[in-house]
């Protein structure tokens, strides 16, 4: 094997942990609500349990990023500055995922979800920061495109494979998801380069003290974080209700829903690899804007979906648009902030995701409840789509304002190779 091929395999190997973590997260987000529905008095309560992920996305990532930026040299050299946190959080995710389907009652199930999400957000920040540490800026879009494809596979496991396994035996998708987390984390650890296992980032120590001052003078970064929260809310806000929408509106069961969701997975997986390559060649900003706009239009049209053909069109178009929202935001953000204190900046990036995950599921759940008088036959579920579309469209507007406030050399330039 040539040195170049070995380097590429290592770079792509860093993304493997995305498969297990996304698979576990998706199982918790889309299948746990089915268990919660037996105990929750309304959709808002389901949204609260799943939206609790956002609380931990607000509290955990920034501090995990800060710790990984300046981990003591003894630990950094032995385990890796980012890798140590992967090794600590993966078993917690796996354990909480394994025990969840054997619990009874709303609050025990909610507690299992909260433990999982706390560990998940302690895992995500160092995983993404490790990619910035080890991958050249001119290849970050492509690497994140592969990460997007693995993210799609993780979604596919939770939405498709998980649904089929759930029909066979409800605990099965949770147990398999836990195993995936452990195996993929081990592979990511093995792929991490020796250069990533250094001592504290001295430059990051000084830069981290000025992050908040820099944010006050960088409206482009602030507006981008708002955009990121909005389109994340559009996608994540509807996830807890996808299977319920399919049962109530389309009249199909969990296994059938999993099968048609293959269109969404195909669109996200293939699209992520393509837009990652195009983003590295032509720049990330405009492709990101186009993807967010496609997602907004597709989701807004969901209010009219009542039959399977309409659902097919909705899922395929949403998947193609969402591919850009998965592959491109973080590489573009990394270019905006530069290379210093990337752990803390990544924590802020994920904090914006967390805010969306607190608010969006509750907002969508409230919209469903308010929509019951408008759509009594369908228990209000069609109203979840235009609410998501509005969030995605607002994300487009915030991104445009971010681009307008960015130096042209950053906002529109092609990544350096």
Domain ranges of the chain: 14-411
Q: Classify each residue of 290-311 as buried b or exposed e, where b means 16 or more C-beta atoms within 10 Å of its C-beta.
A: ebbbbbbebbbbbbebeeeeeb
Stretch 338-352: mean pLDDT: 80
Whole-number mean pLDDT of the chain? 84
Q: What pLDDT, in 10s, does the model give residues 69-104?
A: 877 878 878 888 888 999 999 999 999 999 999 999
Q: Classify each residue of 57-87 as buried b or exposed e, where b means 16 or more C-beta atoms within 10 Å of its C-beta.
A: bbebbbebbbbbbbbeeeebeebbbbbbbbb
pLDDT at residue 331 in the model: 87
Stretch 162-166: mean pLDDT: 86
pLDDT at residue 209 in the model: 52
Residues whose CB is less than 8 angstroms from the CB of residue 391 and which lie 6 or more positions away in sequence, other chains included: 230, 231, 233, 234, 237, 360
Q: What pLDDT, in 10s, does the model give residues 106-133?
A: 999 999 999 999 999 899 989 988 888 8
Q: What percent of the chain has pLDDT over 70?
A: 92
pLDDT at residue 28 in the model: 92
Stretch 154-169: mean pLDDT: 86
pLDDT at residue 227 in the model: 94
DSSP 360-389: HHHHHHHHHHHTTTTSGGGTTGGGHHHHHH
Written as six digits, the tokens of 279 are 């983003």
Better-predicted residue by pLDDT, 321 or 188: 188
The CATH superfamily label for domain 14-411 reads MFS general substrate transporter like domains (1.20.1250.20)
Question: Cα dist. 334→132, 182, 225 in Å?
Answer: 8, 28, 12
Above 80 in pLDDT, residue 229? yes
pLDDT at residue 202 in the model: 47
Q: What pLDDT, in 10s, does the model give residues 30-42?
A: 899 889 888 887 7
């Amino acid at each position: 094997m040539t040195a170049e091929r070995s380097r590429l395999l290592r770079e792509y190997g860093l993304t493997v942990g995305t498969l297990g973590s996304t698979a576990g997260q998706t199982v918790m987000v889309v299948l746990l609500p089915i268990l919660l529905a037996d105990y929750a008095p309304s959709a808002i309560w389901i949204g609260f349990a799943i939206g609790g992920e956002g609380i931990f996305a607000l509290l955990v990532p920034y501090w995990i990023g800060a710790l990984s930026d300046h981990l003591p040299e003894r630990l950094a050299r032995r385990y890796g500055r980012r890798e140590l946190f992967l090794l600590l959080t993966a078993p917690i995710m796996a354990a909480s995922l394994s025990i969840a389907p054997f619990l009874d009652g709303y609050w025990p199930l909610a507690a299992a979800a909260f433990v999982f999400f706390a560990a998940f957000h302690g895992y995500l920040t160092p995983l993404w920061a490790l990619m910035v540490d080890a991958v050249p800026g001119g290849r970050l879009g492509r690497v994140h495109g592969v990460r997007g494809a693995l993210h799609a596979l993780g979604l596919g496991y939770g939405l498709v494979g998980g649904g089929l396994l759930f029909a066979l035996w409800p605990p099965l998708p949770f147990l398999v998801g836990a195993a995936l987390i452990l195996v993929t984390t081990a592979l990511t650890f093995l792929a991490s380069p020796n250069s990533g296992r250094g001592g504290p980032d001295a430059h990051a120590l000084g830069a981290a003290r000025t992050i908040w001052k820099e944010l006050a003078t960088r409206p482009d970064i602030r507006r981008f974080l708002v955009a990121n929260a909005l389109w994340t809310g559009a996608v994540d806000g509807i996830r807890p209700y996808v299977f319920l929408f399919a049962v109530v509106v389309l009249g199909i069961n969990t296994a059938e829903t999993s099968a048609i969701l293959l269109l969404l997975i195909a669109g996200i997986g293939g699209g992520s690899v393509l837009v990652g390559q195009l983003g590295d060649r032509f720049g990330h900003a405009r492709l990101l804007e186009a993807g967010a706009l496609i997602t907004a239009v597709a989701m807004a049209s969901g209010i009219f979906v009542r039959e399977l053909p309409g659902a097919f069109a909705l899922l395929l178009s949403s998947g193609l648009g969402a591919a850009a929202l998965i592959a491109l935001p973080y590489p573009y953000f990394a270019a905006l902030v530069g290379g210093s204190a990337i752990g803390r900046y990544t924590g802020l990036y994920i904090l914006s995701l967390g805010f969306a995950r607190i608010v969006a599921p509750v907002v969508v759940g409230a919209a469903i409840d308010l929509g019951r008088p408008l759509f009594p036959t369908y228990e209000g579920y069609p109203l979840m789509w235009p609410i998501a579309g509005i969030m995605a469209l607002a994300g487009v507007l915030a991104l445009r304002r971010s681009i307008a406030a960015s130096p042209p050399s950053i906002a529109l330039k092609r990544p350096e190779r």
